[in-house]
Structure 1
C-alpha cells in the first residue's frame, strides 16, 4: 500500500484542504490499523497462549468433592484441597449438620513419623483407602503397604491385624450388577491351593474377567456397591458370588467355600472354556467350542447343544442367556459381517527405514453387517428351537435379552437397520413364535445411542424412553396387555438420564434439561436450557420433585441409601459450589465448599461470556460462548474464529466451570473465539434435533451465522469482515461444509481429519444420522460433491495413521479441489492418528493459518519487525 504526501502550496484550496484532511484521516486510520495488527499474532502472543495452561494451573481448588460414606449413611469424609499438594481429611456428620477435621492431622503425622522414621507433614498425609469401621471412633487406612487403625478417642495408632477383620461371606446367586453404586475398593485374598479368577457381571449378567489371583495373592479391586463378582477356579468351578458393599471390604477365598464336584475323566483342561456362563443354579456351564454351543454339567458331563455353528455363522460367547429355571437358554448364532479393510501407510516408522502397511477391519455405511439370529435350547429335552424372524428381518442389533421368571417367555429388543424402528419382541420358548410387545417408530431417526432406556420393573411392567411427544420422556408399559399405561414425565424438557429406580417405593430419580427450565417458574430456575438438573417422580407420573434448583449445571453424588446427596454445581462464569442436600425435597443441609477464583482472576484469567440469540426460525434461542484475549482492548476490532463441532450425538458448548480452554489459547493470538450449539445437535426438542436428519451439511449454520451477527450487533469489537472456522473429525466436516455452502460468511477455515463424505466414515455414526439404505442424501451431503464451491482460504490437516476417520476421506476432498482447480493448503502429519491438528506441530500450523489470513500478517513476528512483505508504507 502507498501514501502520497502533498506539499505544493497551490494545492491549498478549500477542496484541497478537505482532500488533505481526508488524507490525514485515512493515514491515521491506516496507522491505527497497523498498530492493531502489530499487537496481534506476535511471538509474545504465541508465548502467552502456550503458557496459559501452566499460568493458571493450581490457582483455584476444590473443583470437585468425592464423598466417602459410612455404612450407616450418617457420615462421610472428603478431601479438602488447600494447595496443589496439600489437603485435609474432612468428616461430615448428617445428624449434627456439621463438618470438621476427621482426626487430629498433626498428631497422626507425628505418630506416622515416629513409626516409620520418615518426616510426615500434617497437610500432606500419604495415607490411602481411608474407611469408616463399625466402631465410630476407629478409622482404617493403608500406608506403606500396611493396614493401619487410628482410634480418634485415644489417639492410638496401630497396624491392623487382617485376621481381626471378619471376611465377607460369599453368596451363590448369580445376577446382573446394579446400575449405580458408591465407588469403593475391595481386597480379595486367595487362600486356596490353586489360582482363582474374578469375573465382574455387568448390567446384563454377562461375565467379564478382571483378574487372576495366584495362590496366596492379595488383590485390591476397584468397584462400586451393588456390583456382582463371580469367583471361580481355573477349571470353572465356582467358589461363590460377592456383592460389593460398604461393609469391611475384605473377601477371603478358602478351600471350604468350594462345593467340590466329582470330575469326569473325560474332562481335560484344554476342553474347558476360558469364559463360560454359569446357569442361575450354578450346576451348568455354557460355553462356545468350535463355533457351537456346549454345556458342562455338575457331574462333569459335557454336552454339545448345537450342530449348525461354523466359521461363517458361529455362536457368540458373549450372547448366552440362561432362563431362571436353568433348564433353557437363548443363544445367538451370528452371521459374520463382510470384510472391509482400511489400509494405512506409516511412512516413517521409528524402528525401520521402509514404510509399514497397517490394515484393519472398518465397516462403512452400506456394508454388510453381522446378522444375529437367536435360538432357544431346552437342556432337559436336548432340543434346539429356531425362532421365527418375521418381526426382526433386518437387525442392526438384538439386545436387552430378558427371561420371564416362569421361563416360558424370552424378550429381546430389535433395532432395525436405519434406526427408524425399535421393537420389543416376546418369544415363546416352547414354540419359537414371536409377537411385538411394542413398536417405537420414527419418520426420521431414533436416537438409540443416547436415548435408549429399558428397565423391567417386574414380569409385567417396564419403563421405556421415547421422544414420541416431541421431547425425551419416560413411559410405563403394561407388558401383559401390550399397551402403554401412561406417560411418566411430561413437559418441554428432556430426561437426560435415569439415575435410579426404586421398585419398592415406585419412584424414579433422573437427570433432565430443557427449554421449559428457562420459561416456567415452577421448574428449576435456569438461564440455559442445557443445564442439567435432578428430579424424582413416582411411576404414576405424580409427585414430581426437583432436587436441584440453582442456576447452573449440576452433578450429584448420592449416599448409598439415597437419602442424601452432594450437589456440585457451576457455570462457565461461576466456580463450583458443593452442598449437602436432602433427597426427599432437595433442601440444603450443609454448605461444604466453594471454589475461590480470586487468584485466578487476579492473574488475568478471562471469563468466557455466555450469549444467546434467536435461531433461524425466529423463536428458538441458540446458546453459545465467546472467548476474548486476556489483553482484550474494547477499542479494537477483532476477527471472529468459530470452533465448530456439530455432531448430532450431543451438545458441545461447555456448561460447567473449567480453568483451561483451548479456545482461549486461540483467542490469545488476537481473535474473538466463539462456540455455538445450532439446530441439529442434541438435548433439546426432537424438532430441534431433526435438522440433522440426512442433512449433516446443514450443521446448524443458519443458526450459527444469525448468532454471530447478533453478537456483533451487541459487541462492536466483533469484525464481521474477518471470520474463520475450525474443527476436527465431524467438526472438520462441518468446517469445510461451512466454507463451501456459506463462503460469503466464512472466509478462512482449518478442517482437521474430517469425515467429508459420510460413506467413508464409520458405519454406526453415519447411518445413525444419514440413514440406510444408502441414497442420494449421502452424495448431496458430501464435501467432495461441493468442493468446486470453495472461495475462501482453506487448510486441510490429516494424520496418516488415523484409525477413527479414514484419511482417504480427506484425500478425496483434495482430489476434488484439484479437479476444480482450487487453491488450498494441505498438511499430512506422519505417524499421527486422529486429531492431528491437536499435535504440537498441527496446532501451530492451524494458528499460523488464521493469523496470516485473518490478521494479514506473518505469525510469531515481534512487533518491531516488518509485518508482511506487502505491508510497506511508501
Structure 2
C-alpha cells in the first residue's frame, strides 16, 4: 500500500474528505497486517450511534429528576422524559401531591398556532423554561424562538430577544453597558443615568470575552450582559474594570462561516502559562442614587481566563466578599470589603508549600445565617468549615478520613447543614456520594442516604426536603423525595426506564476495583461491553482516558455512565471499553492527588496499565496485546504521553483538543498543577519534547475555534512529529470548538481509525451519522 507523506491533513467539510492512508504496521501488528481485512457492516455503527450520549434519551427515559425549586420554600417542578414526549410536573412536598405544571395539550395547540408550524405532543421541547411563581406564566425557547405562555388565558405569544441588562432585586432598575460605560435605567419610565464617563477605551462591567461568544456572533466585539452584582437592597452594584492594555492576544480564523461569507479573524485576550503581562481588574462599588464610586482597596487582581472577578454581597448590603487565589495557587483568601469605604479585611486564608486546590475548592455564602461555608484540607482530606461573615471566626464542621465535597443546603430553623461527602462509609466505592446532616454548632453527623449507591441530590431552599437520584452505573436511577430531618423517603418521583435499551440488546456497564502499580492502593474503574459480547472471543481493549488532577473519570451514577462518556458507544464497534482512575486524580485524599503536582507527564499511566492487566487476568476475553486509547483536552494530552512513555502497551490512539505543551495553554489550569516557573520542568512534561518517542498509530484532532485549548497546541505537536519523521494523521475541524464530541463526523472518524488500526478491519464506507440536536 502506498504511503502518504508524514502529515496527512484531513479537512472535515461537506465535500468528500481527503482520504488518509494507514501508517505502516509495527512488529506487534505485523501478523495481522498480512491478512485481508474484513468489512464492518453499517449495522455495527448504527448500534454504536444509538447509544451516543446525544441519542441515548431515545432508548432510556427518566434518567434523573432535576428539580426547579419555586421561590424560597419546598415546591418544585421538573421535566420527565417519556416515550410519548416530555411531561412537566409540579410537586408539593408538604401535601405530597403532584400536578401537571400546565395544560400540555393547550400549550401544544397554541404554540403550533402561534408559530404557524404543526407540532406533535411528543416533539414538545421547552428549553430555558422559567416559571413566574406569582402569575404561573412561563417563558421558554422552542424551535429557535422565545415564547411566553399565559396559562390563565391559554395564550402563547413570542417575546423579544433577551435584553443586555441586569435587573435589580426590587425590579425598579436595570444596569446596562453602553460604549463601555455603565448606565442605570428606570424600569418605570426608561430614563437613564450615566454612572461612568471614561469607559470607551477601557470598558466597565465587561469580562474577558469567551471566543465562543465571538464565534456565535461573528465578531471580536460581541454583545454581552453587564457583569454587575446588585446588593440585596437594590441600592448598590459591585462590578469591575479590566485593564487589557498589555495582555496577550491570540487570533483564530473562522474558515467557514455558516452564512457562507469570507473567513473571519477573531481576536481574543488569552493569557498563557507564565505570562507576566496579564489583564488585571479593579473592583468598584457604585451607589446608584448618588452615583458615588468607591474603589475596593485591593491591589489589581490578575484575570487569567475568560470572565472576571466574582463578588458576593452580604445579607445586610454593607459588604461584598471575594475569594482570591495568589498567582501559582500557594494561597487562597476570603476577603470582606466594606461597601461604603472599600476597606478590605481578610476573613480566612489557606496556604500550602505546594498548592491549594482551587479547582476542587467549594465556597458558598448563606445569607440567612451570615455564614460562609469553605473547604480546606490541612489534615489531608477536604472538609467543610463555617466562617463568620462578620468576624472571620472559623469552625470545622466535618473531619476524618473521607472527603466533604459541598454544602447542598441548610435548614436554619433546625440548625443543621446538609453536606455531600464521599468515602466515609466503610466497604463502599470511595467516590460514591452521600448526603449528611451536620449540626451547625457541632455534633454528631447523620447519614441521610444509607443506600450503597451514588446519591445525586438537590436540597429545597428552606432545607426541609431533598430530591435524591440514587443509582450506580449498573443500577438504573431511582428518583425520590426525602425529608432532610431524617432521610425518610416520602414520595417516589420516577425510575429510569431501560426496557427499550435492554430490548435492543445492550448491556449495562460494570464497575471494578483493582490495585495501583504499587500493589497496595485500591483504584476503581468501569468496563463497557458490546451488545453482542461473547465471552468465548478475545476483544481489543480501548481506554477512554482523562487524568487531570481536578477530575474523576470513571462515572459513578447511571446517568453519568449513559450521558457523560462515549465509552458505551465505542464498545459497540467490537471492543471492551475501559475507564480507570489512578493516583494523581481528584476525589480522595490530598496524598492521592498530590503525586500529580509538577509531574503530569509521568503520573498515573502505570496505575492504569496495572489495573487493566489485573482485570484482564480475571477476564480472558480482554486482549491486552491490542490496546487503544483516546482522550479529550487533558485526556488528549494523556493519549500522546501514553504512546510515548508506554508504547509497549498503548498501540493506537486518538487525541482530541489536547493541551500538549502546558506553556501553550491557559494560565489557570496549568499554573495550578505545574507552578508559575517555566523552564526544564515544563520541557520534561511537554508532549512536544516527547514527540520523537512516538510509536504506533496516532490521529491528532482539534477544532479550529477551540476556545479552551488553542489549536496551536496540536499544531506544535504536528510540527514536532514532522521534524521527528513520525507518521500520523491530522484532522482540523472547521467551526468546531473545544468539545469535538459534539461533531458527529469526528465521532465516526474516531471509530473508523480504531476499526482500521486496532481491529484490522475495514470501516463501513462513509457511514452517514445523524446530526445532533
Structure 1 unpaired stretches of 5+: 1-29, 150-158, 163-184, 190-194, 200-207, 212-226, 237-268, 279-283, 292-309, 520-526, 863-874
- Any idea what the Cα deviations from partners look like across 1:323-353, whole Å, max 9, x if unmatched? 9997x99875643353423233455566669
Q: Does 1:776 align with 2:686?
A: no
CA deviation after TM superposition for structure 1 residue 705, in Å: 1.1
Partners of 1:422 and 1:785 lie apart in 2 by 33
| Match in the other structure for 1:639 | 540
Distance 1:702 1:617, change over 3 A: same
- Any idea what the Cα deviations from partners look like across 1:95-129, whole Å, max 9, x if unmatched? 5x6x68779999x99xx99xx9xxx9999899999
Which secondary structure does the structure 1 equivalent of 2:762 belong to? coil
| Match in the other structure for 2:373 | 463
Q: Does 1:289 align with 2:197?
A: yes
| Match in the other structure for 2:361 | 451
Which secondary structure does the structure 2 equivalent of 1:841 belong to? helix
Partners of 1:541 and 1:462 lie apart in 2 by 15
Question: Alignment partner for residue 661 of structure 2, among 739, 757, 766?
Answer: 757
Question: Alignment partner for residue 422 of structure 1, among 323, 332, 338?
Answer: 332
Partners of 1:210 and 1:387 lie apart in 2 by 21
Partners of 1:312 and 1:62 lie apart in 2 by 49
Partners of 1:548 and 1:475 lie apart in 2 by 22
Partners of 2:317 and 2:101 lie apart in 1 by 54
Partners of 1:373 and 1:91 lie apart in 2 by 45
Deviates more, 1:488-497 or 1:369-378: 369-378
Preserved CA contact (<8 Å) 1:694 1:770 = yes
- Any idea what the Cα deviations from partners look like across 1:163-198, whole Å, max 9, x if unmatched? xxxxxxxxxxxxxxxxxxxxxx9x999xxxxx9x99
Distance 1:322 1:641, change over 3 A: closer
Partners of 1:359 and 1:142 lie apart in 2 by 35
| Match in the other structure for 2:4 | none
Partners of 1:78 and 1:478 lie apart in 2 by 35
Which secondary structure does the structure 1 equivalent of 2:250 belong to? strand
Preserved CA contact (<8 Å) 1:87 1:124 = no
Q: Does 1:603 align with 2:512?
A: no
Preserved CA contact (<8 Å) 2:132 2:138 = no
Matches within 5 A, 1:398-437: 399-400=310-311, 412-425=322-335, 436-437=346-347
Question: Alignment partner for residue 231 of structure 1, among 168, 172, 176?
Answer: 172
Preserved CA contact (<8 Å) 2:628 2:754 = yes
- Any idea what the Cα deviations from partners look like across 1:613-648, whole Å, max 9, x if unmatched? 112343332221111111111111111111112223
Preserved CA contact (<8 Å) 1:41 1:670 = no
Deviates more, 1:632-641 or 1:758-767: 758-767
CA deviation after TM superposition for structure 1 residue 722, in Å: 0.9
| Match in the other structure for 2:144 | none
CA deviation after TM superposition for structure 1 residue 422, in Å: 1.6
Preserved CA contact (<8 Å) 2:45 2:572 = yes
Distance 1:594 1:647, change over 3 A: same
| Match in the other structure for 1:242 | none
Question: Alignment partner for residue 693 of structure 2, among 776, 789, 813?
Answer: 789
| Match in the other structure for 1:4 | none
| Match in the other structure for 1:849 | 753
Deviates more, 1:809-818 or 1:591-600: 591-600
Q: Does 1:372 align with 2:281?
A: yes
Distance 1:286 1:547, change over 3 A: farther
Which secondary structure does the structure 2 equivalent of 1:498 belong to? strand
Question: Alignment partner for residue 571 of structure 1, among 472, 475, 486?
Answer: 472
Partners of 2:686 and 2:456 lie apart in 1 by 39
Distance 1:277 1:490, change over 3 A: farther
Which secondary structure does the structure 1 equivalent of 2:689 belong to? coil
| Match in the other structure for 1:489 | 398
Preserved CA contact (<8 Å) 1:511 1:532 = yes
CA deviation after TM superposition for structure 1 residue 321, in Å: 8.0
Partners of 1:133 and 1:417 lie apart in 2 by 43
Distance 1:560 1:838, change over 3 A: closer
Q: So what's the TM-score if we normalise by structure 2?
A: 0.74
CA deviation after TM superposition for structure 1 residue 429, in Å: 8.4
Partners of 2:402 and 2:443 lie apart in 1 by 16
Preserved CA contact (<8 Å) 1:80 1:90 = no
Q: So what's the TM-score if we normalise by structure 1?
A: 0.66
User: How many residue pairs get matched?
Assistant: 690
CA RMSD of aligned residues (A): 5.2
| Match in the other structure for 1:85 | 85
Distance 1:607 1:37, change over 3 A: farther
- Any idea what the Cα deviations from partners look like across 1:496-534, whole Å, max 9, x if unmatched? 222223555442222222x23344xxxxxxx42222222
- Any idea what the Cα deviations from partners look like across 1:297-341, whole Å, max 9, x if unmatched? xxxxxxxxxxxxx94697978468879997x99875643353423
Q: Does 1:344 align with 2:344?
A: no
| Match in the other structure for 1:155 | none
Partners of 2:57 and 2:285 lie apart in 1 by 58
Question: Alignment partner for residue 508 of structure 1, among 412, 417, 439?
Answer: 417
Q: Does 1:441 align with 2:441?
A: no
Deviates more, 1:42-51 or 1:746-755: 42-51
Partners of 1:38 and 1:640 lie apart in 2 by 19
Q: Does 1:48 align with 2:47?
A: yes
Matches within 5 A, 1:80-479: 83-85=83-85, 94=94, 147=150, 209=165, 228=169, 230-232=171-173, 275-276=183-184, 287-291=195-199, 311=201, 318=227, 334-336=242-244, 338-347=246-255, 356-367=264-275, 368-373=277-282, 399-400=310-311, 412-425=322-335, 436-455=346-365, 462-477=372-387
CA deviation after TM superposition for structure 1 residue 794, in Å: 1.5
- Any idea what the Cα deviations from partners look like across 1:272-314, whole Å, max 9, x if unmatched? 9654499xxxxx97822214xxxxxxxxxxxxxxxxxx94697
Partners of 1:133 and 1:347 lie apart in 2 by 46
Structure with the bigger RCO (C-alpha within 8 Å, sep 6+) is: 2
Distance 1:716 1:77, change over 3 A: same
Partners of 2:610 and 2:754 lie apart in 1 by 22
